[in-house]
Amino acid sequence: MLQTLHSIVQEVNAARGLDHALNIIVKRVAETTHVDVCSVYLVDPDTQEYVLMATRGLNPDAVGRVRLRLDEGLVGLVGERKEPLNLEDAEAHPRFRYFPETGEERFHSFLGAPIIHFRRLLGVLVVQQAARRRFGEEEVAFIVTMAAQLAGAIAHGEATGTTTRLAGGGRLSRRPITGVPGSPGVAMGRAMVAYSPADLFAVPDRPAEDVEREIAAFHAALEAVKEEVKDMSSRLADAVSADEHSLFDVYLRMLESDSLVKGTEQRIRDGNWASGALRDSIASHVSVFDEMEDPYLRERAGDIRDIGRRILMRLQLDAGDQRSVPEGTVLVGEEISASQLAEVPTDRLVGVVTARGSGNSHVAILARALNIPAVMGVAELPVNRLEGRELIVDGYAGRVHIEPTPGAKKEYRRLLREDAELSEELQALRELPAETPCGYRVGLYANTGLMADITSSLASGCDGIGLHRTEFPFMIRERFPGEDEQTLVYRQVLEPFVPRPVVLRTLDVGGDKPLPYFPVHEENPFLGWRGIRLTLDHPEIFLTQLRAMLRANAGCGNLRVMFPMISRVAELDEAVGLLERARDELQEEGIDVEMPRVGVMIEVPSAVYETDRLAAKVDFLSIGSNDLTQYLLAVDRNNARVADLYDELHPAVLSAMNHVVQAARPHGTTVSVCGAMAGDPVAAVLLLGMGVQGLSMSVSSLLKIKWVIRSFTRKKARALLEQAWSMERSQDVRHLLNGALEEAGLGGLVRAGK
């Protein structure tokens, strides 16, 4: 039975649209289970009726014509109960409804299973037989399994418009489709599909008739693509800073790497023509990155594919994409590369949407730097049918509206106006302190990782950097960066902020974030060898970074060092010991350095309950709300299937954070929060009520949070926190706080979606 199921699934995946897939299913299910009838009824969202969409055994003329109310017949009963219904004599059931046009009067046995996709009822799969009998347990299990398989195909068909009988001849569904937020904001425009004319992996093998000529052609293509990349980088010179240009430096390093250049040359010398040799070289690189667990590094496979396609296009003397780019363009693609984004004039680009990818992709990083709303990983995105279509991109909620309704357009235009007005209004707060009406001061800090973040943070009036991710210099190189290289990078972060504090988080890679030159393969990387665990196991790497941080701090004095992924006191003791050793070594070498303030990230549940011991040993604690929420709720927020379960206002998350704040207080250890929660106006009220002393967030949220802090007294915030404690559902907490923001005149900060 399992082999049959796999065979049916393969046929369905290869079907020409949903109608074809439905016909395959009813035919194969009828044959496999030896039943007389197999039918599929789908819910028409416009009329809220079941429609017979495909059948094997009933009158084919009834397809598209037979309709039932959602509360009508046995099909309606299956949908209501959302469980299988197995009847020996269907006609004897009080909910039986007879349709003469189907010719089903001959069939007595009935088995129906609901077709459900992410809790949404899509339809019902039915089998019938003339003989009166109850279907066996194995038959029921098979039909339930087929219904579950069918759910994904139907959901995709809805999004792509291939449910032709339900969607008016192939009209794209107006139901918003969901991905992962890549860059915040709202955009309205028309889609321009990004694609590569050259299909690299379709290139055939061909003997190299003149090896040297093929090698020369390959090198000419390489040089041409290098010039393309340099030109694309210069186009963004006024829009992003030097560190964003390092994304294009990554491309240049790929184009100059021995593994690509010499590897392709060798394949040509082995007898393959330049295009075929290039194909094999790129495929070899892609396979390595595709197998990596870390989302950021998997994105690099897309960059490598893009480099390969560009070289191939040059080899083929392809002129490329000659379409003009109109104003209000939303760039759409299966997988958009940073270079494809750079090719679109920034004054005409309003949004980005991809079918694959995540918030760690280069295009998402650039979109955030350019302040362009983006939604990534929209699995149901009908890319090949979107050219010129009107789109709404909701980068806050991770939703895309295709050919939106007049009502949706009106609502989002209102949000755009409110965003513009709010942004203008917030500028007046730039030079004011984040201080409550009762005089309580909260430090507002920026989360950074790229030099563009440094530039915008300086302009924002923040109190310093609450979290600087040091991973990026490690990820863009083909080796571990040396001590001098790291010292220069950290100096560029520390110096501009003197005397404001800058928190450098030590290297947080490994497990789910392996480096390309230091891969780690694990069964469960999120609970694996990562963060402080990896660096403690490799003191030669850790000491180099710590020495570089201390050297960069000489003459600045604003360095704060923070250790990630601490789960026990022993790890902290060992890490501090290595930091002291790095200081002693440098002093012995005649370099005058001082011991910086030290902190710990509270992002592992065990650390929450070790707060008392940890707080006694460090100067500050920073609650990493993103990871702590994911670990506490066992939810990967980048996984669209469970993203709705990720909620920082969950009572368990709030209780854990309050525990940390209260446990640290007797030791005089400051507690801050970094991550998305710190930049959420609703959550900020609760954190103020807890007594959190600092909030570190994306710069785009800083003035909004300052407005909140200046609008609530500690007493009012504490009262709201007490009310939140009494609530069992996070939706109720958010509703309470949204109301409080409205009452305080901060309605512009309230955004639907949770």
Per-range mean pLDDT, top range of 111-125, 225-239, 419-433: 111-125
Structure tokens at 613: 């011991």
Q: Which of 421, 348, 488, 478 is nearest to 704 (CA)?
A: 421
The DSSP element (H or E) to which 485 belongs, if any, is helix 483-494
pLDDT of residue 413: 92
Q: Are residues 310 and 342 in the same domain?
A: no
pLDDT of residue 169: 40
pLDDT at 736 over 90: yes
What is the average pLDDT across 732-748? 89
pLDDT digits (tens, 9 = 90+) for 177-211: 888 888 888 999 999 888 655 567 646 667 788 89
Q: Which of 744, 749, 748, 707 is nearest to 430 (CA)?
A: 707
Write down the H helix ranges in 539-671: 539-553, 569-588, 605-608, 611-615, 625-633, 651-664
> Is 362 annotated as catalytic?
yes
Q: Are residues 584 and 621 in the same domain?
A: yes
Which of the residue ranges 403-412, 470-479, 599-608 would you say has the lowest mean pLDDT? Answer: 470-479
Centroid of chain to Cα 98: 48
Structure tokens at 632: 């506490």
pLDDT at 286 over 80: no
The full 3-state SS of 677-707, as one line of letters, equals: HHHCHHHHHHHHHHCCCEEEECHHHHHHHHH
Residues 6+ apart with CB under 8 A from 533: 510, 511, 565, 571
Residues 6+ apart with CB under 8 A from 479: 517
The answer to whether residue 172 sits within a structural domain is no
Asked if residue 497 lies in contact with residue 459, where contact means CB atoms within 8 angstroms, the answer is no
pLDDT at 452 over 60: yes
Q: Which domain holds residue 641?
A: 432-746
- At 640, the pLDDT band (50, 70, 90 cuts) reads low
- At 535, the pLDDT band (50, 70, 90 cuts) reads very high
The answer to whether residue 353 sits within a structural domain is yes
pLDDT at 308 over 80: yes
Q: Distance (Å, rounded) from C-alpha 451 to C-alpha 537?
A: 30
The answer to whether residue 751 sits within a structural domain is no
Asked if residue 573 lies in contact with residue 545, where contact means CB atoms within 8 angstroms, the answer is no
The answer to whether residue 170 sits within a structural domain is no
Q: Which residues partner with 515 through β-bridges?
A: 518
pLDDT digits (tens, 9 = 90+) for 369-398: 677 899 988 877 877 678 788 999 999 888
Domain count, the chain: 4
pLDDT of residue 393: 95
Give the chain's end-to-end CA distance (angstroms, integer): 42
Asked if residue 350 lies in contact with residue 322, where contact means CB atoms within 8 angstroms, the answer is no
Instruction: Please report, for the domain that includes residue 684, its CATH number.
Output: 3.20.20.60
Q: Are residues 731 and 657 in the same domain?
A: yes
pLDDT of residue 369: 64
Which residue, of 402, 422, 442, is where some domain finishes?
422
Per-range mean pLDDT, top range of 116-120, 330-334, 542-546: 542-546
pLDDT of residue 471: 85
Query: How far is residue 163 from each of residues 19, 60, 112, 366, measured CA to CA in Å?
Result: 7, 17, 21, 36
The answer to whether residue 752 sits within a structural domain is no
pLDDT of residue 318: 43
Q: Are residues 304 and 438 in the same domain?
A: no
636 in the Ramachandran plot: left (φ > 0), alpha (ψ -120 to 50) or beta? beta
pLDDT of residue 284: 79
Instruction: Please report, for the domain that includes residue 394, its CATH number.
Output: 3.50.30.10
Count CB atoms within 10 A of the CB of residue 100: 9
Asked if residue 705 lies in contact with residue 434, where contact means CB atoms within 8 angstroms, the answer is yes
Q: Which of 269, 272, 271, 297 is nearest to 285 (CA)?
A: 297
- At 80, the pLDDT band (50, 70, 90 cuts) reads very high
pLDDT at 1 over 70: no
pLDDT of residue 445: 95
Q: Are residues 402 and 471 in the same domain?
A: no
pLDDT of residue 361: 61
* Residue type present at position 256: E
Kind of pairing, strands 85-87 and 109-117? antiparallel
With 0-12 / 13-18 / 19 or more C-beta atoms within 10 angstroms meaning exposed / middle / buried, residue 51 is buried
Which of the residue ranges 293-297, 529-533, 664-668 would you say has the lowest mean pLDDT? Answer: 293-297
Query: How far is residue 148 from each of residues 155, 507, 679, measured CA to CA in Å?
Result: 11, 42, 38
Asked if residue 656 lies in contact with residue 673, where contact means CB atoms within 8 angstroms, the answer is no
Q: Are residues 251 and 306 in the same domain?
A: yes
Which residue, of 315, 334, 353, is where some domain finishes?
315
Residues 6+ apart with CB under 8 A from 96: 73, 74, 90
Does residue 48 or residue 155 have the better pLDDT? 48
Task: State the helix-helix crossing angle for 295-315 and 242-256, rounded to 10 degrees.
Answer: 60
CA angle 12/148/86 to nearest 5° reads 115
Q: Are residues 368 and 231 in the same domain?
A: no
Asked if residue 126 lies in contact with residue 76, where contact means CB atoms within 8 angstroms, the answer is no
pLDDT at 461 over 80: yes
- At 701, the pLDDT band (50, 70, 90 cuts) reads confident
- At 473, the pLDDT band (50, 70, 90 cuts) reads confident
Going across the sheet that includes 120-129, the strands are: 67-69, 49-56, 37-44, 120-129, 109-117, 85-87
Q: Are residues 243 and 388 in the same domain?
A: no
The answer to whether residue 754 sits within a structural domain is no
pLDDT of residue 16: 60
Does residue 631 or residue 316 have the better pLDDT? 631
Q: Are residues 522 and 634 in the same domain?
A: yes
pLDDT digits (tens, 9 = 90+) for 250-262: 778 888 888 889 9
Q: Distance (Å, rounded) from C-alpha 282 to C-alpha 278?
A: 6
Does residue 482 or residue 118 have the better pLDDT? 482
The answer to whether residue 558 sits within a structural domain is yes
- At 752, the pLDDT band (50, 70, 90 cuts) reads very low
Does residue 339 or residue 465 have the better pLDDT? 465
pLDDT of residue 203: 61
The answer to whether residue 320 sits within a structural domain is no
pLDDT digits (tens, 9 = 90+) for 555-588: 999 999 999 999 999 999 999 999 999 999 999 9
Does residue 162 or residue 296 have the better pLDDT? 296
Residues in the chain: 754
Which of the residue ranges 417-421, 522-526, 705-709 would you say has the lowest mean pLDDT? Answer: 522-526
Asked if residue 532 lies in contact with residue 564, where contact means CB atoms within 8 angstroms, the answer is yes
Write down the H helix ranges in 58-104: 73-81
What is the chain's mean pLDDT, rounded? 85
Instruction: Please report, for the domain that includes residue 283, its CATH number.
Output: 1.10.274.10
Which residue, of 289, 315, 341, is where some domain finishes?
315
Instruction: Please report, for the domain that includes residue 111, its CATH number.
Output: 3.30.450.40
Asked if residue 389 lies in contact with residue 162, where contact means CB atoms within 8 angstroms, the answer is no
Does residue 526 or residue 129 have the better pLDDT? 129
Q: Distance (Å, rounded) from C-alpha 550 to C-alpha 149?
A: 56
Q: Distance (Å, rounded) from C-alpha 135 to C-alpha 90?
A: 12
Structure tokens at 241: 């800073």
Asked if residue 398 lies in contact with residue 181, where contact means CB atoms within 8 angstroms, the answer is yes
Q: Are residues 399 and 482 in the same domain?
A: no
Marked catalytic residue, from 38, 462, 556, 674: 674
pLDDT at 156 over 70: no
Asked if residue 447 lies in contact with residue 467, where contact means CB atoms within 8 angstroms, the answer is yes
Q: Are residues 224 and 292 in the same domain?
A: yes
Percentage of residues in the chain with pLDDT exceeding 90? 46
Which of the residue ranges 412-426, 445-459, 497-511, 684-698 would you say has the lowest mean pLDDT? Answer: 445-459
Marked catalytic residue, from 362, 401, 468, 650: 362
Q: Which of 184, 572, 698 is nearest to 395 (CA)?
A: 184
> Is 468 annotated as catalytic?
no
Percentage of residues in the chain with pLDDT exceeding 70? 86
Q: Distance (Å, rounded) from C-alpha 688 to C-alpha 437?
A: 12
pLDDT of residue 22: 86
Q: Distance (Å, rounded) from C-alpha 550 to C-alpha 646?
A: 37
Q: Distance (Å, rounded) from C-alpha 486 to C-alpha 430?
A: 32
Residues 6+ apart with CB under 8 A from 527: 511
Kind of pairing, strands 37-44 and 109-117? unpaired
Per-range mean pLDDT, top range of 141-145, 640-644, 750-754: 141-145
Q: Are residues 351 and 446 in the same domain?
A: no
Which of the residue ranges 19-23, 83-87, 671-675 would you say has the lowest mean pLDDT? Answer: 19-23
pLDDT of residue 486: 94
Count CB atoms within 10 A of the CB of residue 627: 20
